[in-house]
Amino acid sequence: MLNTASRFELRAATAAVCLVLFSASIATAVELKLQRRDAEAGKGRVCVVMDSGGVDIAGTQNDLRFDSTCAGLEQANCVAAKQHGKPLHGSLPTNEPSTFRSLVFALDNVDPMTDGEVYCCDFTIKGEGDGCCQVEMTRVGISDPQGVALDATVKEDRVCLLGEGKAEAVEVDFQQPSPEPQEPASSSSWLWVAIIAAAVLGILFFALRRAG
């Protein structure tokens, strides 16, 4: 039979396993989506919006890919939302045309971000294009105040700058080279889960040996 110490270690190991499984489940609770906002004539405003689902998020990153045949964008026309207090670090990479790359993060402010708008960009409408003039959100990443990378569910990743319809999941020529294959974003977040699970199993094995 298990003695008192062994029972305690076994319960602690079981609780740790439950904690690991719970941590893995909340990793996908955060939602990011792309939304179009009202804008002045000749402009198209797009905002990245976050629903944290109760998870503490300290920073986000993503790319916005747009159709440059009908829309243009200047870096200064992308602005961080005021309510979360984080600066927007953005750029238009020269090696990836038609792409705005963003990082919303502050080294001196790792407080959890509030839900709602993360940042917005005002595009200049240059023509009708295909009647939609699609903007797509890609390369999404988020992190908690400890710097741990978490998974995010992208609920709505495309919007039309023109018309009233919603952008469909169709292939659009963004006039940029195809990205190189990358590892899934979830691999880093699952690595620490596997490490903790291995440690928990070691504790459980030790407890059972002592009980024997």
Q: What is the pLDDT of residue 44?
A: 95
In a domain, 196, yes or no: no
In a domain, 114, yes or no: yes
In a domain, 200, yes or no: no
Statement: residue 126 has pLDDT above 60: yes
> For position 73, which CATH number holds?
2.60.40.680
Looking at per-residue confidence, does 37 or 7 come out higher? Answer: 37
The pTM for the full model equals 0.67
pLDDT tens readout for residues 145-161 = 999 999 999 989 999 99
In a domain, 192, yes or no: no
Q: Which residues pair with 114 in a beta bridge?
A: none
Which domain does 73 fall in, by range? 28-185
Tell me how crowded residue 58 is: count the other CB atoms within 10 A of its CB. 21
In a domain, 69, yes or no: yes
In a domain, 109, yes or no: yes
In a domain, 95, yes or no: yes
Strands (E), the chain: 30-37, 43-51, 59-66, 71-72, 78-80, 88-91, 99-104, 116-125, 134-143, 149-150, 152-156, 158-160
Q: Give the contacts of 157 (CB within 8 A, at least 6 positions apart).
A: 33, 34, 136, 137, 138
Nearest CA to 117 out of 153, 92, 71, 85 is that of 85
Mean pLDDT (the chain) is 78
Looking at per-residue confidence, does 187 or 47 come out higher? Answer: 47
Mean pLDDT of 85-109: 96
User: Domains in the chain: how many in total?
Assistant: 1
The whole-angstrom separation of Cα 34 and Cα 121 is: 11
pLDDT tens readout for residues 47-62 = 999 999 999 999 999 9
Max CA distance (Å), the chain: 78
